[in-house]
Amino acid sequence: MAESAVPSAVTLSGWRKSSYSDNEGADCIEVLDHHPHGTPVRDSKNPHGPVIVVPAGAWGAFVGAVKGGVFGVG
């Protein structure tokens, strides 16, 4: 079974802020590209907190929906 969570984000490096995050510092998520088990996602306000790892197919569908305006952005 693929890893679905990382207990501490400090164990990973190379995070980038989502281009859809608020530039004022609120409502921000960060993602990590090229992880072997999917796309790790964390709350930028809690960089040492937990991380979820979203399977690649599900992450691709989510990003496509955001870009397609399904959630009212994009």
> In which band, very low, low, confident or very high, does the pLDDT at 39 lie, cut at 50, 70 and 90?
very high
Helices (H), the chain: 56-67
* pLDDT band at residue 57 using 50, 70 and 90 as cut-offs: very high
Report whether 53 contacts 5 (CB < 8 A): yes
Check residue 4 and give its pLDDT: 67
CB 52, CB 4: distance < 8 Å: yes
* pLDDT at position 59: 92
* Position 11 pLDDT exceeds 70: yes
Query: CA of 2: how far to CAs of 23, 36, 37, 41, 65, in Å?
Result: 33, 9, 6, 15, 24
Domain boundaries, the chain: 5-67
Q: Tokens standing for 57?
A: 């197919």
